Amino acid sequence: MFESLKKKLSALRGKATEAAPEQPAAPPAQPGAPAPAAQEAARKQEETAAAVAAIGESGRKINEDDVDELLWDLEIGLLESDVALPVIEQIKEGVREGLLGKRVDRKFTLDQVVEAALRNAIGSVLKKSEFDFDEFVRQHEKPVVIMFVGINGTGKTTAIAKLSNRLQKMGLTTVLSASDTFRAGAIEQLNVHAERLGTRIVKHQSGGDPAAVAYDAVDHAKAKRRDVVLVDTAGRMQTNANLMDEMKKIKRVVKPHLVIFVGDSLAGNDAIEQAIAFDKAVGIDAVILTKIDTDAKGGAALSIANAIGKPIAFLSTGQGYEDIIKFESKWMLDRLFS
């Protein structure tokens, strides 16, 4: 992910390496020592912390023109990584504020300092995107009703199955609502997941009223004292007025406690537009990003949450039920700067 930006950062590191004195070779790893990748990540974090600490009132003054030139290169890298322009401006402003008018210890190159400031700026954007789904469900009055929205093909139904599996591992019971009645295949797909997971599914005939299915699912959960209702919905294009009216009706009928948008991280700016459209229509509380394991760019992770001002709950990393991880800003930063 962020391949274009990584090239920019690699170029900056290359300049820093040319300017820095040659370091002695690292000693062989000892038995029981951390793996080389972990050692490298720890070393980079130490370098970043040291570079940030070196920014202050003493040393050589940071030249505004030099900063602007480097920020331009980094802006191009972020644009090529599908990061939305408003997010880029926010990141650049964070870097600029952290550097201009400051001085830096001469043992650090400007490139190292800019990279450290960039990591801090991106980290502050990502930090706002964290959301503790598990704690939300644990603390909420039962049954918790969660409605999932998004375009077909993003992995929405699979994401629902993964969360059902996760909730069951937490000791909670679930009910799946097959409210994508627009496609018979969607009902069958959710039914297969329900059988594999050993959980209850509420479904009607294809073409039925999606809101009625959701209502019956919630009613069943209340009667049987189930903990969480996961409501699947249709995913035609976000410009489809009938779809949005359908989403509004489901929300009005079952009053979900959480509306989660499931977006394809490979879709780039299209995913951002989809999130904005669904947020305007029904309101989004959190985001799940799918296909993050195959995402060569990764800008959606920075952009979607910023565009709608809502957090990212999970990242889907594969097709298995266990292939879903809680979003953590540190994890994404480490992938970006690895």
DSSP secondary structure letter of residue 87: H
Band (pLDDT 50/70/90 cuts) for residue 92 is confident
Burial of 61 (0-12, 13-18, 19+ CB in 10 A): exposed
Residue 190 has which token pair? 């959710």
Q: Does the pLDDT value for residue 218 go beyond 70?
A: yes
- CA 190 to the chain's CA centroid: 24
Q: How far apart are CA 335 and CA 318, in angstroms?
A: 17
Instruction: Specify the pLDDT at position 52.
Output: 57
pTM: 0.78
Looking at per-residue pLDDT, the higher value among 128 and 220 belongs to 220
Task: State whether the Cα torsion 180-185-191-192 is positive or negative.
Answer: negative
Can you give the pLDDT at residue 20?
A: 46
Distances (CA, A) of 307 to 1, 149, 187, 251, 261: 20, 17, 31, 22, 13
* Residue 60 to residue 80: CA distance in whole angstroms: 32
Give the single-character DSSP code of 130: B
Query: To which residue do tokens 């954007």 refer?
Result: 125
Handedness of CA 7, 13, 18, 23 (dihedral sign): negative
Q: What is the pLDDT of residue 183?
A: 85
- N-terminal to C-terminal alpha carbon distance within the chain: 11
CA distance 176 to 199: 8
Local confidence band at 227 (pLDDT 50, 70, 90 cut-offs): very high
Phi and psi (nearest 5°) for 58? -125, 160
Q: 109 with 14: CB under 8 angstroms?
A: no
pLDDT at residue 18 is higher than 60: no
Q: Other C-beta atoms within 10 Å of 31: how many?
A: 4
Q: Are 229 and 258 in contact (CB under 8 A)?
A: no
Instruction: Give tens-digit pLDDT for 42-79.
Output: 665 566 556 555 565 566 777 777 777 778 877 887 77
165 vs 120: CA distance, rounded Å: 35
pLDDT at position 330 is 78
d(CA 314, CA 160): 11
d(CA 333, CA 338): 8
Strands 144-149 and 55-56, sheet pairing: unpaired
Tens of pLDDT, residues 279-313: 999 999 999 988 877 655 566 667 776 778 888 89
CA 300 to chain centre: 7
Residue-wise burial string across 277-306, b where 16 or more C-beta atoms lie within 10 A, e elsewhere: bbbebbbbbbbbbbbbeebebbbbbbbbbb
CB under 8 Å to 193, separation ≥6 — which residues? 157, 158, 160, 161, 164, 176
